Amino acid sequence: MSTGTAKALWRRLRPPVHAEREPARVDLTGRVVVVTGASRGIGREIAVRLGACGATVVVTARTEHRTDERLPGTIHDTARLVEQAGGQAVAVRADLSRSPDRRRLIADIEHELGRIDYLVNNAASTLYLPVEELPERGLASMWAVQVEAPFELCRLVLPGMRKRGAGSILNISSKAARHPAGPPYRPTTRPVTGYGMCKAALERLTTGLAHELHGSGISVNALAPKRLVVTPGASFHHLDDARSLRRAEPPGLIAEAALRLLTGDPHTCTGRIVLSQDLLAEQHALHSSTPSTGAGAASIADVPATGAADARR
């Protein structure tokens, strides 16, 4: 599939950010959210959804200026969309593979904004190569961004959350974290062992930290899309083949699911490893449909989010 075709499909499948229905009526005014990897794709969708609820969203990623036409989007583009959706936004460049950048990011936010209520660990570094071909540097990059960065960011935001007795951490995972079924194994053209290993570690961090923090008022959950979300990153890695596009998930679904996990009751909605559509179906927030775009067979129902009152603390 050509780059131009992939971009056209992405634009057609992606619902207008400002035309999203607002089923979860949550007021996040005064709440500060950090979304990593938010210059495009799933991170951008989550940032804009939270902004639509009135949150102040810190949009962070490496991309401050567009340098590759195959990967459109910058932190400043996302910040503008957050503000247009009704929130406040601050764009902060950070290379989360580097510990000094992580420490600076959190210190600056807490100094300038006074608090961090929600942390969304979405940033990713991805290589789809067999184990024999995966370079050490590539594995180190994936591990640093998808495991070490969330671990350290959690550690940095927790003192403030503990002091307030409230907060929520959401780690964006992938179905690649699951163990392959077999034998016999289905043939694969896209080896995900290294990537899946990192996401599995992220999920173990999620459940372990949820256990440690239970009863503190702080929730920790992991969320993954149930099907392919057509993003520039997916197109860059050639994940958007014809079959995947027919079954693709509208990006608004994972953003809605993220909102519901972040604002759920921390006593009961914590330690979850869940897929977007499964969570929405569980909360009776999913309609079945057959959209003409082929962008998946689901849409968001107009129902309030579970635990919405908790988000106003």
Ranges assigned E (strand) in 125-232: 167-172, 218-224
Question: Which residue carries 């962070």 as its tokens?
Answer: 60
The CATH number of whichever domain residue 117 belongs to comes to: 3.40.50.720
- Beta strands across the sheet bearing 88-93: 88-93, 56-61, 32-36, 118-121, 167-172, 218-224, 273-275
Query: What residues make up the domain containing 264?
Result: 3-312
Domain count, the chain: 1
pTM for the full predicted model: 0.82
Question: Which residue carries 């007021």 as its tokens?
Answer: 27
Which pLDDT tens digits describe the chain residue by residue (313 residues)? 333 433 443 343 343 333 334 456 799 999 999 999 999 889 999 999 999 999 999 999 997 867 766 656 899 999 999 999 999 999 999 999 999 999 999 999 999 999 999 999 999 998 989 999 999 999 999 999 999 999 999 999 999 999 999 999 999 999 999 999 999 999 887 899 999 999 999 999 999 999 999 999 999 999 999 977 665 554 444 454 545 555 668 888 999 999 999 999 999 999 999 999 999 999 988 864 423 223 334 555 543 333 333 332 3
DSSP state of 105: H
